[in-house]
Structure 1
Amino acid sequence: MSDLNILIVEGNIREDSEFFIKAAGASAADNLKNLILKIEPSAITEIINPGNDDETTNALKDMSKYNGIVFTGGAMRINDMTDVIKKHINFASNCFTQKKKILAICWGLQVCSTAAGGKVNPGKNGAHIGIASDVIINNEGEKHFIYKDKKKIFTSPAFNFDEVSELPENAILLSSDKVNNVMGVSFRAGNSEIIGLQYHPDYEYFQMLKLIEGRKERLFVNKNFLNEEEYESHISYIKSQNELLDFNDRTCEVRNWLNYLRN
């Protein structure tokens, strides 16, 4: 196969992208693009935003040129079901009519799961605020290519308030943690194969710390933290995990997926 051609689907509206750029140094799509090019320097990437009808129309016309599609994370919440969110879900549905390999991260997983008939709701057991601790790969996950060479129990950057509460039909659960049952999942929708991750192999903890700092007021309003001491303790925990972060283990799902595109 020649150089991989990958479509990256931005998960944020412009206002949220500006916040991500200020806090994390890049939009969600650019951050993912940077990681892909670090792993696969010869890859060709194209970024679109489903909120822009012209971009999605053109992408769907040229869908055959893409070896794979990545749906990135983002700050929207499915159950708000705005017109823009509907466009994200509709674009995913249109992608499913093609024979495509799709990697769906965080918000991307929630979009693709909804488009495939699953359901998304606020997390019953709380939220991941910058980190997901002790994610456990189950027996199905150990057999799946996405977790090749991954530690069976791992901690990862993560940031989500919602979870996939009902999986699409015939989905295979790959990993879970105490906060979200659905942390890694594989399913088919239409002609496409989707691998979904409810955490961020594409982000580093220092970026998560910046995102937390930028959302601090909202996190207190939403009672994710009850007091300053609890907040500072969580920040200290993430910093301690940052010292243990290993690039190859953190990013291996993206690397495995890129290798899979070559098959």
Structure 2
Amino acid sequence: MSNLNILIVEGNIREDSEFFIKAAGASAADNLRNLILKIDPSTNAEIINPGHDDETSNAIKNMSKYNGIIFTGGAMRINDMTDVIKKHINFASNCFNQNKKILAICWGLQVCTTAAGGKANPGKNGAHIGIASDVIINNEGHKHFIYKDKKDKFTTPAFNFDEVSELPKNATLLSSDKVNNVMGMSFKVGNSEITGLQYHPDYEYYQMINLIAGRKERLFKNKNFLNEEEYQKHISYIKAENELLNFEDRTCEVRNWLNYIK
């Protein structure tokens, strides 16, 4: 087969992308493209932003050339339902009609869920601040390609305040943790097959620590941390987990998806 052509859908507006670049070294889409090229240097990965109408219309027009689509994470929240968020949801809906395999990460999962008739809301059990601990793959998850060679229980980079609160019709839950029931799921809608992850195989822990530092004031204001000691303890925990995680384990899902669409 010829080289893969992937469409990466940026999940941030310009202001948030600038924050990601400063804190994590790259925009969400560029960070993901960098990972894909590490896994498979022959891949062609194009980036669009659904907030830009010319980019989305051009992508829809040329959709036949893409082997798959990835919706990245981002800092927006579905319940704000701004005009830009509506554009993200509308683009996902258009993609569903294109007979595509889609990987939806974090914000991308929430966008695709909403576009498919499910719901995303603020997490009932709190948030993942840079890390998700003890994610458990269920029986359906063990059968799914996305978790091939993945440990039954794993800890991973994650950063989200919202969660999928209602699965789309006929969706299959693949994994969960104590914070979010939906950590991994899959569903078919229109002509497309979507695999969604509520965590970040595309980010490293040091990037998460930098993102946390950049949001520190807001995290204290929202009482995600009650004091400096609690904050520092959390950072130390992430640093300790970083010593236990290797590239192959962290990026397993992205690699499995790329192999699946070949």
Work out whether the TM-score is over 0.5.
Answer: yes
Q: Give the 3-state SS of the residue equivalent to 1:181 in structure 2.
A: coil
Structure 2 Cα separation of the partners of residues 25 and 149 of structure 1: 29
Q: Quick check: 1:84 aligned with 2:84?
A: yes
Q: Give the 3-state SS of the residue equivalent to 1:173 in structure 2.
A: strand
Aligned residue number for residue 256 of structure 2: 256
Aligned residue number for residue 70 of structure 1: 70
Structure 2 Cα separation of the partners of residues 185 and 252 of structure 1: 16
Aligned residue number for residue 112 of structure 1: 112
Aligned residue number for residue 121 of structure 1: 121
TM-fit CA distance, 1:255? 0.3
One-letter amino acid of the counterpart of residue 58, structure 2: N
Q: Quick check: 1:179 aligned with 2:145?
A: no
TM-fit CA distance, 1:13? 0.1
What RMSD, in angstroms, separates the aligned Cα atoms of the two structures? Answer: 0.3
TM-fit CA distance, 1:33? 0.1
Give the aligned length: 262
One-letter amino acid of the counterpart of residue 108, structure 2: G
Q: Deviations over 1:171-219 (max 9, x none)?
A: 0000000000000000011100000000000000000000000000000
Structure 2 Cα separation of the partners of residues 247 and 142 of structure 1: 21
Q: Give the 3-state SS of the residue equivalent to 1:125 in structure 2.
A: coil
TM-fit CA distance, 1:246? 1.2
Aligned residue number for residue 103 of structure 2: 103
Structure 1 Cα separation of the partners of residues 243 and 249 of structure 2: 14
One-letter amino acid of the counterpart of residue 38, structure 2: K
Q: Give the 3-state SS of the residue equivalent to 1:103 in structure 2.
A: strand
Q: Deviations over 1:125-183 (max 9, x none)?
A: 00000000000000000010000000010000000000000000000000000000000
Aligned residue number for residue 135 of structure 1: 135
Aligned residue number for residue 17 of structure 2: 17
Q: TM-score, normalised by structure 2?
A: 1.00
Q: Give the 3-state SS of the residue equivalent to 1:201 in structure 2.
A: coil
Aligned ranges for residues 235-250 of structure 1 at < 5 Å?
235-250=235-250
One-letter amino acid of the counterpart of residue 165, structure 2: S
Q: TM-score, normalised by structure 1?
A: 0.99
Moved over 4 A (4+): none
Q: Give the 3-state SS of the residue equivalent to 2:155 in structure 1.
A: strand
In structure 1, the gaps of 5 or more residues are none
Q: Quick check: 1:7 aligned with 2:2?
A: no
Q: Give the 3-state SS of the residue equivalent to 2:92 in structure 1.
A: helix
Q: Give the 3-state SS of the residue equivalent to 1:134 in structure 2.
A: strand
TM-fit CA distance, 1:245? 1.0
Structure 2 Cα separation of the partners of residues 199 and 99 of structure 1: 25
One-letter amino acid of the counterpart of residue 158, structure 1: A
